[in-house]
């Protein structure tokens, strides 16, 4: 039996492609009494006695025990919104306002990355970094991977640039190549969200830069992460701590990129192997003034994988560690 001792209420529902379905509550003894439907033999009229066969008993399967959660105060989390699911079946193990809309910041780039992976199958294809995006990205203070205007870069390097350093320059380069414009790509993002059942999600850009109409929920992002982790290319990239791009004329030694989530763990002094032995395998950070700190991550314990999404930690700086503190708090309380 898997148990989570965390100070949030247990919902006992299952997320599958955006659809939440209730799971039967786990009773104290972990099982339910077997039940047999009454059988009707003959009709209501009196007849001569006849031999009757014993009704065949159909065994009722014992429900699989669902995770337990001790419901205590949610004050232990900085984040305003959070959800923890078991990846194998989508069972919701913890929920804190997970269906309420919030700003995802750079977790948006998870959708950008998976669409690029699905639409650009040749990872060695060379793309040209457009020049016209840089003034606006600079003005908005967007994080970038470090590519130069007109630089020729592989799709692979751009994907690492999206997920590791959270590069808006990489996002827009990929979006332009796939859809001809960021606007066209955003339509693809919203179409994909609808396909996955992310009913409370609406994208306005491919970078996560703030817009009041750019929103999602922790519940929807958990659906997205679960979908993305089925893709080997996505999983390889998001579990990487660093990556060096191929040499180009602009960068003869390539660009060495470091993953923002792992960097945050390292800088905080919090280990990615938490007290119960769970290992945080990868994730995507996010931060804007309006969104606060956000994190979509996943970890493994005893052969099971868990996905945690948190949004709305009231940090004032991207460098603050509230999101990884929340990850440690939740992950360390999984018992299995």
- Enumerate the active-site residues: 106, 109, 166
Q: How far apart are CA 89 and CA 91, in angstroms?
A: 6
Total residue length of the chain: 336
The DSSP 8-state label assigned to residue 271 in this structure reads -
Q: How far apart are CA 127 and CA 152, in angstroms?
A: 5
- Beta-strand relationship, 304-313 and 292-301: antiparallel
Q: How far apart are CA 204 and CA 174, in angstroms?
A: 16
- Asked if residue 13 belongs to a known ligand binding site, the reply is no
The torsion angles phi and psi of 175, rounded to 5 degrees, stand at: -60, -45
Identify the burial level of 85 via C-beta atoms within 10 angstroms of its C-beta, where 0-12 means exposed, 13-18 middle and 19 or more buried.
Answer: buried
Q: How far apart are the first and last CA of the chain?
A: 6
* 186 within 8 A of 204, measured Cβ to Cβ: yes
Nearest to 106 by CA among 149, 140, 146: 140
Q: Is the dihedral of CA 195, 198, 204, 206 positive or negative?
A: negative
Nearest to 145 by CA among 176, 123, 173, 167: 167
User: At a CB cut-off of 8 Å and minimum separation 6, what does 92 contact?
Assistant: 10, 11, 12, 13, 14, 15, 20, 83, 84, 85, 98
Q: How far apart are CA 262 and CA 88, in angstroms?
A: 24
Specify binding-site residues for substrate. Answer: 284
């Amino acid at each position: 039996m898997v148990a989570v001792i965390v100070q949030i209420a247990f919902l006992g529902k299952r997320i599958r492609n955006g659809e939440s379905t209730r799971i039967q509550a786990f009773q104290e003894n972990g099982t339910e009494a077997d039940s047999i439907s009454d059988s009707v033999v003959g009709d209501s009229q009196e007849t001569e006695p006849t031999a009757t066969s014993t009704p065949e008993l159909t065994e009722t399967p014992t429900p699989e025990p669902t995770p337990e959660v001790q419901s205590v105060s949610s004050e232990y989390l900085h984040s305003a919104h959070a959800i923890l699911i078991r990846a194998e079946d989508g069972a919701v193990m913890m929920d804190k306002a997970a269906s309420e809309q919030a700003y995802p910041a750079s977790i948006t780039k998870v959708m950008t990355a998976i669409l690029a992976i699905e639409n650009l199958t040749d990872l060695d294809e060379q793309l040209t970094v457009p020049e016209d995006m840089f003034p606006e990205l600079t003005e908005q203070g967007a994080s970038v991977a470090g590519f130069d205007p007109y630089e020729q870069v592989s799709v692979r390097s751009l994907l690492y640039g999206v997920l590791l350093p959270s590069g808006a320059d990489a996002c827009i380069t990929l979006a332009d190549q796939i859809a001809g414009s960021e606007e066209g790509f955003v339509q693809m993002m919203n179409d994909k969200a609808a396909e996955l059942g992310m009913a409370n999600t609406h994208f306005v850009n491919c970078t996560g830069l703030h817009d009041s109409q750019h929103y999602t929920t922790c519940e929807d992002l958990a659906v997205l992460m679960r979908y993305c982790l089925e893709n080997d290319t996505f999983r390889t990239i998001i579990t990487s701590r660093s990556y060096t791009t191929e040499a180009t004329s602009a960068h003869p030694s390539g660009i060495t990129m470091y993953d923002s989530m792992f960097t945050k763990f390292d800088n905080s002094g919090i280990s990615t192997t938490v007290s119960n032995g769970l290992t945080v395998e990868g994730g995507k950070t996010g931060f804007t003034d309006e969104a606060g700190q956000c994190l979509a991550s996943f970890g493994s314990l005893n052969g099971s994988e868990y996905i945690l999404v948190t949004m709305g930690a009231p940090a004032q700086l991207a460098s603050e560690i509230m999101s990884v503190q929340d990850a440690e708090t939740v992950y360390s309380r999984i018992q299995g």
